[in-house]
Amino acid sequence: MSPTVQAYFDPATSTVSYLVSDPATRAAVIVDPVADFEPKGARLSHGSADAILAAVDAQGLDLKYVLETHAHADHLSAADYIRRRTGAQIVVGARITEVQKQFAPLFEADDVTTDGAVFDRLLAEGDSLALGELEVRVLHTPGHTPACVTYLIGDAAFVGDTLFMPDYGTARADFPGGDAATLYRSTRKILALPPQTRIFIGHDYLPANRTDYRWESTVAAQRESNIHVHDGVTEAEFVALRNARDATLAPPTLILPSLQVNIRAGALPPPSPGGRVFLRLPVTQADAD
């Protein structure tokens, strides 16, 4: 069966969020919603999430879940905002606990328990959720982060950052807990799905020879022409390519604001005694004695 998939592209972070619904029952989920954060003024708003929620209302959809493919390092999640607005449960991969244990100490986030309890559902390989007459099934696809999952809904796979469009390749694997060999095996797991499976990606960064943003391909197209993991690329070849490319990449602009919010399921840190909310920027003193 085919779900109805509506994509929402955020140009500020090159992120694609999805509103996915069962045509028969109108049960719906939102995948990887983005909060609008302007870092120079530290201004947070939710126009992007509100646009998706307006579509939910206009189409009479019954929003059940917010599905997070992983703890994003390039944008703040709007998952908690949507949960507070609608009551939808936040779902994430069960190994989010490893990410919390990695980053909560970095930000001295004493309010964050590292058991994943701030999320509503922790799902592992083979788990599933009902979505009307459809089903949300989970593949554990780590490598970019330990907690990355792919959500299978009917003939559609929502792969987060594991795969990009064929002309862009795959996600980086140099974040804490990332691993290029693990990422390769995860891509092969996705590419073992039926050839007609629709692949919906989490970001599109324009390659040099393309000017239009895209976010949908197929297993067949990825296997034929993904520049990093097309059929015939060995694990060793991929690891060498991925590690070499990652060595040239700068950290994402919003990595520090994003991670301290996203390990909280998109919630902000608790306010200070004065009532203000602060995000922390741990400083690395590269030239310290």
Q: Give the domain CATH number at 170.
A: 3.60.15.10
**43 DSSP 8-state letter:** E
Number of domains in the chain: 1
The model's pTM is 0.96
Q: Would 271 be classed as within a structural domain?
A: no
Q: Would you say residue 208 has pLDDT above 90?
A: no
pLDDT in tens, 108-158: 999 999 999 999 999 999 999 999 999 999 999 999 999 999 999 999 999
Task: Give 287's pLDDT tier (boundaries 50, 70, 90).
Answer: confident
**Among candidates 264, 224, 236, which has minimal Cα distance to 100?**
264
At position 72, the amino acid (one-letter code) is H
Q: Of 210, 212, 232, 209, whose CA–CA distance to 222 is shortest?
A: 232
Mean pLDDT of 268-286: 93
**Beta-carbon count within 10 A of 137 CB:** 17
Residue 267, in any domain of the structure? no
As a whole number of angstroms, the distance between CA 223 and CA 110 comes to 44
Contact status, residue 120 vs residue 114, Cβ threshold 8 Å: no
- Assess if residue 220 is contained within a domain: yes
Residue 287 in any domain: the answer is no
Residue carrying the six token digits 């870092």: 39
In a domain, 278, yes or no: no
In a domain, 269, yes or no: no
For 153-193, the pLDDT digits (tens) are 999 999 999 999 999 999 999 999 999 999 999 999 999 99
Distances (CA, A) of 138 to 50, 158, 159, 186, 212: 27, 10, 10, 13, 30
**Residues 3 and 158: beta-carbon distance below 8 Å:** no
Mean pLDDT of the chain: 96
Residue 289 lies in a domain: no
pLDDT tens readout for residues 70-99: 999 999 999 999 999 999 999 999 999 999
- Residue span of the structural domain in which 30 resides: 4-262
* Residue-wise pLDDT tens digits, 43-55: 999 999 999 999 9
Q: Is residue 96 part of a domain?
A: yes
CA distances from 148 to 5, 118, 144, 220, 244 (A): 21, 17, 7, 22, 22
Tell me the average pLDDT across 14-20. 98
